[in-house]
Amino acid sequence: MRIAVLGAGAWGSALAISLSKRHQINLWTKDPDHAREMNERRINQSFLPGHALPSSLKITSELPEAIENAELALLVVPIAGLRETVRAIAASKFQAPIIWGCKGFESESSKLPHQVVEEEFPGILDCGVLSGPSFAEEVAQGLPTALTLASKDPDFSRQIATELHSPRLRIYTSHDVVGVETGGAVKNVITIAAGISDGIGFGHNARAALITRGLMEITRLGLGLGGSMNTFMGLAGVGDLLLTSTGDLSRNRQVGLMLAEGKTLEDILKVLGHVAEGVHTARSVLQLGNQLNIEMPITQAVCSILHDGVPARNAVEVLLNREQKTEIY
């Protein structure tokens, strides 16, 4: 299959490496210097160092060249760049299916990725979201990974999942686009909280409590937006949350750990050098929760630390001193 992978960050490059074993892949970056460097060195030193880019992988900074004759476009740009990329694809009269792998809410509109796609590419039918517990580093290494491909069209999701599926990259299908996208977005916010807790030294018990209560926040908001309960118990829900909240490869977890050390958000983002979607998603999550009258205490605490200057320990203490109540409600 001819696939255009649009976005040459860590995740896009890892998918390009993995899929190159079975498919013809074009990898696109909008930065000509980045494309030139990858072509010359056959490595993505900026985002995925240590992993050779296959010789069969074509790299370009020209979008028309990347999508020419493609049978599928896989959009792996950050959520902030999704609208611009989809708009450019739509303007090119691209006819093949598209799927996206970005996680988060668009900061300006608080919209999920599928809503952005529908606005910029009206009438598109063959499309869906690819999400789940996945560190780019491990996918690039060829370690076993399981993902969920969700589409409103079950036949489409089964068809594309069959094409992308392999023993080391297992693709499951779902019809719950809203649930899969919500799980992938909100878990980044909860992960920041888990990182803060670990950085303060509150221990494994506190982390388990945060993850469990965080899953409740994800589920409440997801159901409020129209998602399915089963989704939040699966790969795109609890699976993704567990991975990012406990794995040190998680950028959002690193944000939490450094916040606990008292570092400023500005300095943390400079150190990371990569997008940590939870930082930009937290406000949108809290705003949506307020609109739907859904209680989001962990998200509120993270927002107070990220954007209101509340010290990490103080915000966590507020969480710990919340009113005692029934666990499930």
- Its pTM stands at 0.95
pLDDT at 329: 53
**Catalytic residue set:** 187
Decide if pLDDT at 185 tops 60: yes
Q: What's the first-to-final CA gap in the chain, in angstroms?
A: 47
pLDDT at 125: 87
d(CA 103, CA 77): 9
Among 167, 177, 123, CA closest to 145: 167
Decide if pLDDT at 320 tops 80: no
d(CA 312, CA 192): 11
pLDDT at 276: 85
pLDDT in tens, 210-247: 999 999 999 999 999 999 999 999 999 999 999 999 99
What's the chain's average pLDDT?
95
Decide if pLDDT at 321 tops 90: no
pLDDT in tens, 96-145: 999 999 999 999 999 999 999 999 999 898 999 999 999 999 999 999 99
pLDDT at 328: 65
Report the pLDDT averaged over residues 164-192: 97
pLDDT at 264: 92
pLDDT in tens, 280-311: 999 999 999 999 999 999 999 999 999 999 99
CA distances from 75 to 26, 267, 300 (A): 12, 29, 30
**How sure is the predictor about 27, in pLDDT bands with cuts at 50, 70 and 90?**
very high
pLDDT in tens, 36-89: 999 999 999 999 999 999 999 999 999 999 999 999 999 999 999 999 999 999
d(CA 241, CA 215): 8
d(CA 185, CA 113): 10
pLDDT at 273: 79
Report the pLDDT averaged over residues 308-317: 90
Domains of the chain: 2-175 (3.40.50.720), 185-320 (1.10.1040.10)
Contact 120, 94 (CB under 8 A): no
